[in-house]
Every structure is written in C-alpha cells, then in structure tokens.
Amino acid sequence: MTQQPTFSLSMLDLVAVREGVSVGQSLATALATAQHAEALGFKRYWVAEHHNMQGIASSATAVLVGYLAGGTQRIRVGSGGIMLPNHAPLVVAEAFGTLAELYPNRIDLGLGRAPGTDQATMRALRRDRTESEDDFPRDVAELQRLLAPAQDTQRIVAMPGAGTQVPIWLLGSSLFSAQLAAQRGLPYAFASHFAPRLLMQAVDLYRQLFQPSAHLAKPYVAIGVPLIAAPTDEEADFLASSVYQRVLGILRGDRRRLQAPQAHFLARCSPQERAAIADFLGAAVVGGPDTVETQLHALADATGADELLLVCDVFDPALRLRALDIAAQAVATERSLSPA
C-alpha cells in the first residue's frame, strides 16, 4: 500500500538580516521566499514580531504581511505572531481588518503573549501599561468581537475589521495558550522551533480540552520545525552552523546578524554549549533528502500535527530555496507501508 502525507507544509520566517546584507535586501529575500513557497504549494507563510534585534527585520509585522500578500497570489499570509500584550486589540483589529479587505480569504492572525523582546524594549513598547495573566484571554476575546460582524449596541467598531472574521490562531511554547486555544475552539501553533521541551504535553492537552466552536469543529495543530536541507547530510550539517551560531548568540545575549556557515563549529563549542544548542533545536530537521523525508514524517507521526511550520535560516538565499524544494519533495513522496 501507499499513503499520502496527512500534513501540510507552511513557513514561519523570522526575516533574518544576514551579515553584510541590508535590511531592504532582507525584506526582498523574504518576498522571494514567499513566492517560492507559494509555487511549491505551501499552505501559509507567516512572519513573527520581534523588536530590538539587529538580526531580525520583522518588527512591523502587519506592514510586512501586507508586503508579502501583495507580492503573492494564493498562499495565506499572516503573523506567527503578533505579540498581543504590546498592542491595543482595536489597533490589531483595524490593521488585520484592512489586510483582510485588501487580500480576502488570505490573511491569518496568530497571537502570542510573550513580549518578543527584552524587558527595556518591552517597557518602551507598552509605555505605562502593565499586563497580568488575565489580560491575554480578555484581549483575545475582544479581538474576536472586533473582527466579528458589528452589533447594533456595539459602541466601538473596528473599521476596517468588523465582519472580516480574520482567522485567529493562538501560539505558545508553554501550556497556557494550549489551554486557552482549546477552550475557545481556536487553532493552535506550538513554538517548537525554539522551545520543543513541552511540545507533546501541550499538543496533548490542547486536544484533550478542545471545545468545538463556530470557527473550528475539531483540533488543528501546527508545530514549528527548524529545517536545514541540502543534497547531502554533510552539507546540511555545515549549513546548519549558521543556526548554531545564532542559537549560541541568543543563549549568550549576543544577538548578531545571521552569520555565514563555519566548518566544525560545534566541535569548537564546550559540551555545555553543545547540549544547550541541541535542547533549543530539539525539533530540528537537518540532513539530505532521505534524512529530511524520514524526520519530517516522524515528527508529523509523533505529534499528529496538521501542519509543519518550517523555519529555514540557511545563510545563502538560493540554498534556502533549495532546502524548501527538498522538503516539498520529501513530503510529496508517497510512503511505502507493509500490508497489515
């Protein structure tokens, strides 16, 4: 027998600024990558809100979503995500409502509750506003109301926004958002591209607690997957050193631009550093076509994920597109199964 894959491929782009490359060129690379992902049949292309990081150019997330949607034709484009505590729900509803009117049935609104930055920048973003654990569920509910059809008694209406019903996703790396997504009947994306430790627990909890809603009849899960693919395992290991450098920089508080690959980088790290990098990238898929096929299917089988959100930070943009080609081919390949 043969079995077609039961999951889709999508992409989460951190819009890396590579060493020696301008921000403008980095944004153009993101658009070229989105166009390539669309041609490969990827389901959606998301960008994530980060601030005060010289190696990431996706801080004005809604603006970037519009740029990517305007340069593509069919692929869904959205946020993975908007860090909701940094914004008033009305502002988010108007921004994504505008996007939904410009690009109907193509916009997603993924929401997170982390700051997406350091504490000083968080204070600069939020000014005097303080957040409690209860605020995020209230803000999500308010966003849902603002994007729903306006009621006659509604005093504040998002314009544009009301009636667009932009699909809302909840994102997270802990159990909090898994429970909230389940309670509200929303799709859920787990940030296993940088925090894989609670992946299985969060996905299981989401499915156990899921309550069907007008938006979603049954649980729907996407998981973040760091991907480095190349024609051989050896080349993929070499190209992955750019990601290893980035992860080590994050762990050290040294957030540089994405660096060119270095031969034998891990061998020069201490055992503790290698262990920390491995923990950060516990859900990563690194290798040649056969390895990528095996590991992508294994991840999907283990988690039951409906979508794999690939995070592909190969330093050379052309080799990044090649990596997406390899992943798409790996998922398109039929899997041989022995008879039961």
Tens digits of residue pLDDT in 202-230:
999 999 999 999 989 999 999 999 999 99
Average pLDDT over residues 175-187: 96
Q: 295: closest CA among 241, 217, 246, 240? A: 240
Average pLDDT over residues 168-181: 95
Q: 185: closest CA among 154, 214, 149? A: 214
Is 107 in a helix, a strand, or coil?
strand
| Phi, psi angle pair for 267, to nearest 5° | -65, -25
**What percent of the chain lies above the pLDDT cut of 70?**
91
Q: Which of 20-34, 68-82, 107-121, 297-311 has the lowest mean pLDDT?
A: 107-121
Q: Measured on CA atoms in the order 306, 334, 286, 279, is the torsion positive or negative?
A: positive
Can you give the pLDDT at residue 122? Answer: 56
Can you give the pLDDT at residue 32? Answer: 98
Angle at 224 between CA 219 and CA 226, to 5 degrees: 155
Q: Which of 19-28, 114-123, 323-332 has the lowest mean pLDDT?
A: 114-123
Residue 53 has pLDDT above 60, yes or no: yes
Average pLDDT over residues 168-193: 96
Can you give the pLDDT at residue 169? Answer: 98
Residue 54 has pLDDT above 90, yes or no: no
Q: What is the mean pLDDT of the chain?
A: 91
Can you give the pLDDT at residue 116? Answer: 46
d(C-alpha 196, C-alpha 191), whole Å: 7
Q: Which CATH number fits domain 2-336: 1.10.230.10, 3.20.20.30, 1.20.1630.10, 3.30.390.30?
A: 3.20.20.30
Residue 170 has pLDDT above 70, yes or no: yes
Verify cis geometry, omega within 30 degrees of 0, for the bond prior to 71.
Answer: no
**What percent of the chain lies above the pLDDT cut of 90?**
82
Given pLDDT bands bounded at 50, 70 and 90, which one contains residue 338?
very low
Residue 2 has pLDDT above 50, yes or no: no
Residue of higher predicted confidence among 237 and 50:
237
Alpha helices in 105-134 (DSSP H): 119-126
228-253 pLDDT per residue, tens? 999 999 999 999 999 999 999 988 88
Residue 104's contacts (CB-CB under 8 Å, 6 or more residues apart) are none
